[in-house]
Amino acid sequence: MNRLTICLAASIAAATISACGSDSDSNMQPAPAATVTLSASNVDPVARSAANAAVSSAEVANVNPASTGSTSSNAVKTRSLQQLLLGLTREVVFDRVMVKGTPASSSIPKAQGTITRTDNCASGGTVTAVLEDRDDSNSATSGDTLTVTFAQCRPNATDLINGSVSATYSAVQVLPGFVSATATVTYSQLTASSTEGSFFINGSFTYNLSRLGSVYTAQLSIGVNGLTAAVTGASHSDTVTLHPGYTVTATRDPAALPPGSSIPGVGTLTVNGAISATSIGGTIVISTPVTFRQFDIDPFPREGELQVRGTNNGLLVLTVLSTTTVRVQLDANADGTFEVNKDVAWVDLI
């Protein structure tokens, strides 16, 4: 379980209970200020927390998540347990907008405005989706509520998922060549475990996912109650909170070709907002003045810049040099001079 790939683990996916209700801007609390003082002694843990918060966010726009019914292990190997969990949820929520198959079929029974569908997970257990179809449209539309429950779900031989996530749709559009869904999303004590460790996520956010042609755009904003994720692994444990107002925008173009390659697919990512982590003992504020860009053939992003602000306007800058290397620079006293300047491997950050 890659160190802390949970930060925006919090970011991926979708769902919420209608009772969660007011995540509106009028009730939004201001994001907290930074409380961590940046210094040479904490450069490494702060860089890891910030990098994981950013890079994990990209999963919100992943249009090829591992399926609960997939028998292939290749997809599972390329993402951490929490990314798999969030990708599964994103797929389930968006699929209900697309509505594949015939809603009236035996696999999706309908009674009194409720559509229920249960799918078997690849290696045991089930995923059950219950859609409160308030307008009797046989699909997810504005005002409908979807609840997805994982019951001893094993997407592969080693991973186990339990808990629920629910979404209340506020806007749904399905037009020729264009699909868009906006929902308030809530994770309710959702847990996952594997031989690598365990993962927990709880909280809510506003989520929009749209597709124009083959290009996906995902946007999310953390709600008034924030979003907390915890990961426990063999060599690393951490609890991360994404605070109200934390935002993510990610895109995915499955047809884009990287220079010199015939393998298509690229994603972009920007993140902004305050996060707290037990590993750094407080709160930092992160932003991406240069958008992250990663092709499918890339193990890590090939472009991008991440800035981290601490107390007294201290600055930590992570600049992507290549798909293997990131430059880490620290200006602890905000005087315009970097006291720390070093190149580190992506694998040491994520």
What the block records as the tokens of 256 is: 């884009």
| Average pLDDT of the chain to the nearest whole number | 77
Instruction: Quickly list DSSP for 279-343.
Output: TTTEEEEEEEEEEEEEETT-SS-SEEEEEEE-GGG-EEEEEE-SSSEEEEEEETTSSS--SEEEE
More confident residue, 317 or 223: 317
Beta-bridged to residue 149, according to DSSP, are 128, 164
**Beta-carbon count within 10 A of 238 CB:** 21
Q: What share of the chain is helix, strand, coil (3-state, %, to 5)?
A: 15, 45, 40
pLDDT tens digits, 22-63: 333 445 566 789 999 999 999 999 999 898 878 776 665 553
**Would you give the DSSP letter of residue 159?**
-
For residue 202, is pLDDT > 80?
A: yes
Contact, 50 vs 318, CB < 8 A?
A: yes
- In angstroms, the CA 200 to CA 202 distance is 7
pLDDT tens digits, 308-346: 999 999 999 999 999 999 999 999 999 999 999 999 999
Question: Is 241 strand, coil or helix?
Answer: strand
- In angstroms, the CA 163 to CA 187 distance is 8
For residue 105, is pLDDT > 80?
A: no
- In angstroms, the CA 201 to CA 191 distance is 7
Question: What pLDDT score does 84 carry?
Answer: 53
What the block records as the tokens of 231 is: 């990961």
Question: Is 68 strand, coil or helix?
Answer: coil
For residue 1, is pLDDT > 50?
A: no
For residue 107, is pLDDT > 50?
A: no
Q: Which of 286, 330, 336 is nearest to 308 (CA)?
A: 286
Q: What percent of the chain shows pLDDT beyond 70?
A: 73
Q: Which of 204, 293, 308, 213 is nearest to 250 (CA)?
A: 293
Distances in Å between the Cα of 212 and the Cα atoms of 217, 253, 264, 317 are 8, 10, 17, 34
Helix ranges restricted to H, 57-124: 74-77, 81-98
Q: Which of 296, 266, 292 is nearest to 52 (CA)?
A: 292
Min mean pLDDT across 153-167, 254-268, 270-284 is at: 153-167
